[in-house]
Structure 1
Amino acid sequence: MASGGVTLFQPGAIDNYLGGHRGFVYEPSAEISVLKAFKRLAISQGWGDKKKEQEKKKFYAAVDTEFGARVGSGFNLTEWQRLAKFIGIEPLPVTITQCKKMIKKENINIYQILKAYRKAQEVKNIDLIKPCPDIQRFKSTAELRKYTQKHNMYFPKQWAKGSVLKGLLKELR
């Protein structure tokens, strides 16, 4: 979240899910695309459409769990402010309601946020957090939709349990 520090990556729920399959070689890393890793997993396991859909539900649950663990529960102003600052919202909102409103306006793919948080360094002082250059802010929902479709980077809203994740998701299909 700031420049010049050590990434504090620790494997999370997604890594536990991906690494828990026999015969699938998976090395947890902050650099990987978790979506590409899931696709590799499905191919390596020879899943048909029905099994792949069942496993997607488990994968989405892991994404939701990890997103909450890394980004926050949604009950803490500091977590909301940290996210707002990390995605480049200025001036920094001073209440949870303001944070939610400002973040809801953003057009960002949640997998970019998740990857950025997986690579982030812990910063205690919120004033030292810099906007993450790896998170692309789209000018419109239409641009976000086009990007998400092109890269097949969807997250179904019905699987989002955490309030922060729910607050970021938009209807794209």
Structure 2
Amino acid sequence: MDYLTGHSGFTLRRGEHLRNGFKRLAKAEGWSDAQRAEERKQFHRAVVQDLNQQYSKLDHYQELCQKLFDETPATVTQCKKLLTTKYVNIWDIVEEKYRYFDDFKTFRNYTKKGRLFDRQEAKALLLNVFLERMF
């Protein structure tokens, strides 16, 4: 990913999740909390740009449906309807871990452990279908 590799020769380790790479980069760069927060925004934007270049809206939703539920609805509306039947962590999708939760409480507890994705960036990534009020 360009954002990570653009920092002083930093490389993502083989099989390393993007979030973990970002944490490792922040530690290596010695960022303050404020600096880390600002960099996290830029990181989320870069993730969104990379992924948005890969898919059309329908292709994007169909792939999510296929990978999560082994179904491929014909329209964006049908895809969204299917995708809203379960709780899905956005970072899991970004990191290509296709799983869902049936129970909101379990999903919330899982997500609150460092797996929150910026709301505005989720909308730009066409993942707003998964946005939930966590608190």
Q: Shorter-chain-normalised TM-score: which range?
A: 0.7 to 0.9
**CA–CA distance in 1 between the matches of 2:128 and 2:70?**
18
**Equivalence for 1:79:** 60
Higher relative contact order (CA 8 A, sep 6+): 1
Q: Equivalences for 1:96-111 in 2 at 5 Å?
A: 96-111=76-91
* Cα 1:102–1:154 shift into 2, 3 Å: same
TM value normalised by structure 2? 0.85
Runs of 4 or more, structure 1, over 4 Å off, are none
| C-alpha displacement of 1:153 | 0.8
- The one-letter code matched in structure 1 to 2:133 is E
**CA–CA distance in 1 between the matches of 2:68 and 2:91?**
13
- The one-letter code matched in structure 1 to 2:119 is K
* Cα 1:27–1:158 shift into 2, 3 Å: closer
Number of aligned pairs? 135
In structure 1, the gaps of 5 or more residues are 1-14, 117-133
Query: Does the CA contact (< 8 Å) of 1:89 and 1:102 recur in 2?
Result: no
In structure 2, the gaps of 5 or more residues are none
The alignment yields a C-alpha RMSD, in angstroms, of 2.1
| C-alpha displacement of 1:89 | 5.0
**Equivalence for 2:44:** 60
Cα deviation code 1:39-92 (max 9, x no counterpart): 11111111111111110110110122233234x342x3x4322221111154x4
**CA–CA distance in 2 between the matches of 1:163 and 1:56?**
16
TM value normalised by structure 1? 0.68
